[in-house]
Amino acid sequence: MTIMSRSLLLILLALCPGAFAKSRVASLNLCLDQILLSWVPPKDIVSVTWLSGQPPYRRAPVPEHIYLNRAQAEELLPLKPDLVLTGQFGAQRAAARLEQLGFNVVRIPDAYSLEQLQTQLDALEQTLGPLPQLLAQKQQLSALLEKYPQSDTTENPTALILSANNITYGSGMLEHQLLTRAGFSNLAAQQGIQQLGRVSLEQVIALEPDLLVFYGGAQDFAIAHLAERHPVLKRYIDSGRSYRLPEALGYCPALAAVDVLEQLQQKRVELVQRP
């Protein structure tokens, strides 16, 4: 390599941190699995967790060459990854062991709010480099947050999230932020619920939300979702006054938050325009 070529390489590395360190990437975290499988060329991925091969999380067939690990350090040793991604909390024993053995382990911060989501995307760019889909997601999120500033007033249409076992989401949650950014008032937060709470069907009916937001799978046979068979709630579904948050928002908001915010805003427009 000539001196000029070496200088050019150093400049590129400085401009694109992580861009040359991701030729063999492994993940010990479900969300980071999904991000790698969605945004990184398959040839650069050597391992993701076994959960990403399961039907609830599998967005597409996992390429055969990618090893499905169970977050054990020993599993990754023969794969010799250049970079191992993990979250803030899970698989810490494996991460620490890999660090002791000299592997490049990067802990990507989790995201439980829009602010943390932006921090997470910044950390991913710094680690993986300027991946086109990652940059597009960052730009879309920033543009939407600028377009839809915080709005939670009594003049807004009302919404209520109903999850399995009648769990609802109040203030202090990413789901609450998405509702209010889209121009809804979250009835759970108005009732004083912080983070997670529980509401009865009678309370849902009495609150009369303009939009009923279901959260989770649509399996009619699941006991946790029998509430949706209630005639009043079914009326919301049949009239188009319902929305279903994707399950991915719960375990990897980086792949879902932008779409959810856009779709909720469109729902708000539809409700406001109704006679």
Mean pLDDT of 137-164: 86
Tell whether pTM > 0.75: yes
- pLDDT at residue 3 above 70? no
Q: Which domains are seen in the chain, by residue range?
A: 20-108 (3.40.50.1980), 149-273 (3.40.50.1980)
Instruction: With H, G, I as helix, E, B as strand and everything else as coil, classify residue 112.
Output: coil
- pLDDT at residue 223 above 60? no
- pLDDT at residue 19 above 50? no
Backbone dihedral region for residue 25 (phi beyond 0: left; psi -120 to 50: alpha; all else: beta): beta
Average per-residue pLDDT for the chain: 85
Closest to 197 in 3D by CA, of 228, 181, 175, 182: 175
